[in-house]
Amino acid sequence: MADRSKGFMRAEFVTYAYILLYIALSSGQIFFNKWVLSSKEINFPYPLGLTLLHMIFSSVLCFLLTKVLKIVKVEEGMTLEIYVTSVIPIGAMFAMTLWLGNTAYLYISVAFAQMLKAIMPVAVFILGVAAGLEMMSCRMLLIMSIISFGVLVASYGELNINWIGVVYQMGGVVGEALRLIFMELLVKRKGIKLNPISLMYYVSPCSAICLFVPWIFLEKSKMDGNGPWNFHFVVLTLNSLCTFALNLSVFLVISHTSALTIRVAGVVKDWVVVLVSALLFADTKLTIINLFGYAIAIAGVAAYNNHKLKKEASKVVTTETPGDAESIPLVSQGNTNTER
């Protein structure tokens, strides 16, 4: 009996450790990206270049983990037709999300960017209805209205609003919503189930190519104009490694808990980012209206998550397994985009 109790406590401790790791990595990566892009010491104000570096690093590591070291098995069933019609659109939208989201940090504060990202369920729902994946209902309209109202209030309370940054952030939100729609189509209509590592194995090279083309035209000349490329190799490598570790932490949390846990952890992370960023960055000035509006939006997001989980539970009675990880966005994502 004592051994069983110790085993239960050990398993519980490991679970909480994974959750805390996810929250720490997810929050830390957002702050890390902001610092790299805006710090005068690092001098790397190139969101496209940074995101491209992340995707190249992820592609190499995924290849090593799956094909060389064979620590993780790549899910089977991928065909050329599925790759062209599903994976490439997902990779393109993923690239768009990270590029625009990271660019927004050059214009608006981390806290305000996080508040704007609360509008994500609204974008996903609207696009889901258009794609025939969601059904319009009075309940969902109410939830979407609450989220939208909260984001509007939070935006009204922003002291130093920059509309260029808002446009970039909203573009990132639309890109992430489209990515999630394509992922759901991949699972529902193609029948392919991918865990986060397998998904990154297929998506990262595609995203890297999608980022490389605009980088050539938009940022390469700026980087060349600043003289020889003399970057902080250790800092940028560590930044890319943290991004990959974040995706691994998502896989670990889902494997040891459930979809509900990762979503609740995502909400906690959002509040951590908003509050801590006010202490770390001089461009973050929170107001009572900011926090009040964001609290309303988060309440709507919580209601949305609860509604979706009940809907999923009614369809699937069996216990959730690690193979179900494909239904969880790599960005809490928010996103999350995990990187943002």
pLDDT in tens, 271-321: 889 888 888 887 778 889 989 999 999 999 888 888 877 776 776 544 444
Q: Which residues contact 226 (CB under 8 A, 6 or more apart)?
A: 43
Largest Cα–Cα separation, the chain: 69
Q: Does residue 220 register a pLDDT over 50?
A: yes
Neighbours of 79 (CB within 10 A): 11
Torsion region of 335: left, alpha or beta (phi above 0 gives left; psi -120 to 50 gives alpha): left
Q: Which residues contact 283 (CB under 8 A, 6 or more apart)?
A: 109, 160
pLDDT in tens, 50-99: 999 999 999 999 999 889 988 888 877 788 888 888 889 999 999 999 99
Torsion region of 329: left, alpha or beta (phi above 0 gives left; psi -120 to 50 gives alpha): beta
Q: Please, which pLDDT band fits residue 239 given cuts at 50, 70 and 90?
A: very high
pLDDT at 85: 87
Specify the amino acid at residue 105: Y
Helix segments in the chain, DSSP class H: 2-38, 47-63, 80-82, 88-104, 110-116, 120-130, 138-156, 163-190, 196-218, 220-225, 233-256, 259-280, 288-315
pLDDT at 72: 80
- How far from 217 is each of 37, 101, 106, 220, CA to CA, in Å? 19, 19, 19, 7
Nearest to 24 by CA among 309, 318, 242: 242
Q: Does residue 231 register a pLDDT over 90?
A: no
DSSP 76: S
Average pLDDT, integer, range 13-41 = 85
pLDDT at 146: 93
pLDDT in tens, 125-173: 898 888 887 888 888 999 999 999 999 999 888 877 899 999 999 999 9
Q: Does residue 264 register a pLDDT over 60?
A: yes
Average pLDDT, integer, range 244-257 = 73
Its pTM stands at 0.80
pLDDT in tens, 179-202: 888 887 776 667 777 777 888 899
Q: Does residue 323 register a pLDDT over 50?
A: no
